[in-house]
Structure formats: structure tokens, C-alpha cells
Amino acid sequence: MNSSTRLSELFKIFKTLETQELINFKEEIRRINKDEKDRLEKSDLIKHFKKIYSEYAISILQKNLLESVNYSIDKKKSNIW
């Protein structure tokens, strides 16, 4: 940076705060996904297919279920989703 030392220090502080927020956000997402995965374990759909398919197939199904549950539609423009 071609600026003063104080401005560089301020930039470093902002960068540190941003990094800490990203770490906290990632941990929160990981925790939420774990809670949702635990809840999905108890769902009737997973219980039904657990008797039929392997653990690998069930883990793929759980991943897809998590994505579908957390999927949201945003309206971008009129008549376009």
C-alpha cells in the first residue's frame, strides 16, 4: 500500500476482523448443518430408506435433503425467478 502507516494498520485490523467473522460464520454453518443432519436422521424418509440402502447412499440422500430444505427462491425481476 502506498499510504500512511496508520491507514495500513487500520486495514490490517479490518482484515483481522473480517477473518474472525468468516471463521465464526463457518463454524455456525457447520453447527447448523450438524443439527439439521441429526434431525434428518429421525425423519421417516431416512428411516425408510436406511433399511434398504447402504450408508453411502443414505449420506448422499441426507446431503441432497439438506440442500433442498435450505433452498430458497429469490425474485430477481418481475416474472423471473
* Rg from Cα positions in the chain: 21
pLDDT at position 81, please? 57
What is the chain's pLDDT, residue by residue, as a tens digit (81 residues)?
456 788 888 889 999 999 888 888 788 777 777 777 778 888 888 888 888 988 888 888 888 887 776 666 555 666 665
Asked if residue 66 lies in contact with residue 40, where contact means CB atoms within 8 angstroms, the answer is yes
Tally the C-alpha atoms within 13 A of residue 41's C-alpha that lie toward its C-beta.
Answer: 7
Please name the amino acid found at residue 71. Answer: Y
Give pTM, 2 decimals.
0.45
